[in-house]
Structure 1
Amino acid sequence: MRFWWVNQNQTFEQEFRGGYLWSPKRNRNGARNQFYENMREVAPGDVVFSFRNRTIAAIGVAQSYGYECPKPTEFGTIGANWETVGWRVDVAYSVPANRVVPKEHMGLLGPLMPERYAPLQRDGDGIQNVYLAELPRAFAEALAGLIGVEAQQFVMAAADAQLLTAPKMAARGIDEWEDKIQETVRTSSVLSDTERTAIIRARRGQGQFKQNVMRMEKECRITKVDNPAHLVGSHIKPWRDATNDERLDGDNGLLLTPTIDHLFDRGFISFRDDGGLLVSPVADPVSLGRMGVRPEANAGPFSRAQSRYLEFHRDEVFLTARRAAT
């Protein structure tokens, strides 16, 4: 379990009602922001303290891993210059009866703040451009102690309850996004019937896209299963992010078993260009082992075209925070 602090002055109402956190992937100038990158390392059961108007306005427990998601429409004009696709984490929130003002307790909290990427100034005032900051356990425990026993009870109860729902919630968020894209494809007047069918089937790794991938890929890169009946065409640059041409491009695909496809599509694993396996720090190593994933495995080299797509996957999908200047 990890502990996080989120500054929600602008978007608290929308995120609280919707049960989520959302951030852009980068600053307006395209630079990485550590407080956005942290969204990639949240895991189910992590605790989130929501800071708004100088108080801890809510406590939450993460219900999902981070995943790509469009900017919420309910934000309206808030963050007009933000990217249209960012990171989302589903969260179960609770409002504490005791609204703690951290600035009034900096004698206790100040010495416990992290040296880098702190959520507050040393005097307890907020910091602009801070969204999600990781908290040391000692800081989080001190803050929960100030809030009182309800904070501890909520965290324990919610952490137990969320384990059954987290995978479904995360999948639903992505599915809703892809459903909207699919409807746009289905009703397109520019595409032919054949093109529409091929693009829609490609969403599930089937049809013309899978055939295109099979011209270059012969087996699952991880499990070595080579029976096409047990493999799907897995997009390297996800179907939801790709252009229509990229959705059918065989270079934008691997043949993977369904379980490995899930890990790859959700960013729990990725690959270096030389075939080295990358494993997200939020991935459960026991589950990975049972699925036949060995961290030391090498999937073999990739073509230059595949490597271009893999760069996108590592930058935009893989769930590991890049250390970045704020």
Structure 2
Amino acid sequence: MAFWWVNHKQTRDHEVSGGYLWSPFRNANGAYNQTYENMRHAQVGDIVFSYANGRIGAVGRVTAEATPCPKPAEFGVVGDYWSDEGWLVEVEFVEVPKPIRPKEHMQAIGPHRPDKYSPINANGDGNQGCYLAAIPDTLGHLLMALTQADELQLDKKLKIQESEPDAIVLEDLHQIDLDLTIPDTQRLQLAKARVGQGLFRKRVLMLNESCRVTGVTDRRLLIASHIKAWKDSSNAERISGYNGILLSPHVDALFDGHLLTFEDDGRMHIHESLPADVLERWSIDPSMKVEKFRPEQAAFLAHHRSVFARKVA
């Protein structure tokens, strides 16, 4: 287990609540950045301290290693100068029992600062030119004590709650487990993706801020649904964020059942077999046009429309 310190003032709330870290591959000018490269070195089980606005307020455990991922849509105008592609590391965060301002503890922290790529300057100010920094174990344990994070049972606090899968999902999970050609790390990602968790859900959330149809933004109430069905997708497609759409549960029921589909420009189509009163009771306007989809989603949507067109009832 290693310790890391992330400086993420502008994106802190998105990353801590979303359960991830994201950085571009390189600086805006294309130059190599060691603190971005560090994203590739974080391992499952490592501890990450979240520093923003002059304080360490959260601690997290890495749950999945770095994978290429588009810049989160929720960043908005923040980081406009960053490239649109970068590294995503899954980290489940919790607030620390005792947030601290490192500037007030430099007598203890100072001797343990890294010699290179330190996340904090000698005067106690955060080094905002540094994103993810490796810190010595001595500093890591010191911060655990100062924030009282050592009193947390992180494995229990950070456990992901998953719903009980149905028989079809269980069979798919069994097939994933039996396929020895899939690397262990990808096998875990696929298993989580099949039950709507992990890397797939995070990637979908990166690209969508709300339900396409209802506009609901509370993530607890939204489903990350595959556009091209799991059974028809390759393993790479199964965890691709572009093969995902964020929907409210009742809309997902229609989309997953191919009773509702979309054109690339956002036009909606409703299957002729769907009773009109369903749309009325669920407040779905069939003439509405949702936000335009990304070019990378065109092939997935085309497949969904083809299944929609073949559906009889």
TM-score range, shorter chain: 0.5 to 0.7
Match of 1:170 among 166, 189, 199: 199
Taking the TM superposition and a 5 Å limit, the aligned residue runs for 1:1-326 are 1-148=1-148, 150-155=149-154, 157=156, 167=189, 168=192, 169-170=198-199, 173=203, 175-179=239-243, 183-186=297-300
Contact 1:61–1:158 (8 Å) recurs in 2 = no
Structure 2 Cα separation of the partners of residues 35 and 76 of structure 1? 22
The amino acid that maps onto 1:154 is Q
Structure 2 Cα separation of the partners of residues 76 and 161 of structure 1? 27
Structure 2 Cα separation of the partners of residues 155 and 4 of structure 1? 15
Structure 1 Cα separation of the partners of residues 19 and 158 of structure 2? 15
Structure 2 Cα separation of the partners of residues 108 and 77 of structure 1? 37
**Secondary structure of the equivalent of 2:32?**
coil
Structure 2 Cα separation of the partners of residues 117 and 152 of structure 1? 29
Identify unmatched segments of 5+ residues in structure 1. 198-326
Contact 1:62–1:90 (8 Å) recurs in 2 = yes
Deviation at 1:43? 1.2
Which one has more relative contact order, counting CA pairs under 8 Å at least 6 apart? 1
Structure 1 Cα separation of the partners of residues 188 and 139 of structure 2? 26
* Backbone CA RMSD of aligned residues: 2.9
Indicate how the Cα distance of structure 1 residues 130 and 17 shifts in structure 2: closer, same or farther if over 3 A, else same. same
Query: TM-score, length-normalised on structure 1?
Result: 0.53
Deviation at 1:52? 0.9
Identify unmatched segments of 5+ residues in structure 2. 162-183, 193-197, 204-235, 245-294, 307-313
Partner residue, 2:287: none
Structure 2 Cα separation of the partners of residues 20 and 31 of structure 1? 24
Count matched residues.
Answer: 189
Deviation at 1:166? 6.0
Deviation at 1:17? 1.7
Contact 1:94–1:154 (8 Å) recurs in 2 = no
Structure 2 Cα separation of the partners of residues 10 and 30 of structure 1? 21
Deviation at 1:178? 4.2
Contact 1:6–1:49 (8 Å) recurs in 2 = yes
**Secondary structure of the equivalent of 2:65?**
coil
**Secondary structure of the equivalent of 1:127?**
coil
1:218-262 superposed Cα distances (whole Å, 9 cap, x missing partner): xxxxxxxxxxxxxxxxxxxxxxxxxxxxxxxxxxxxxxxxxxxxx
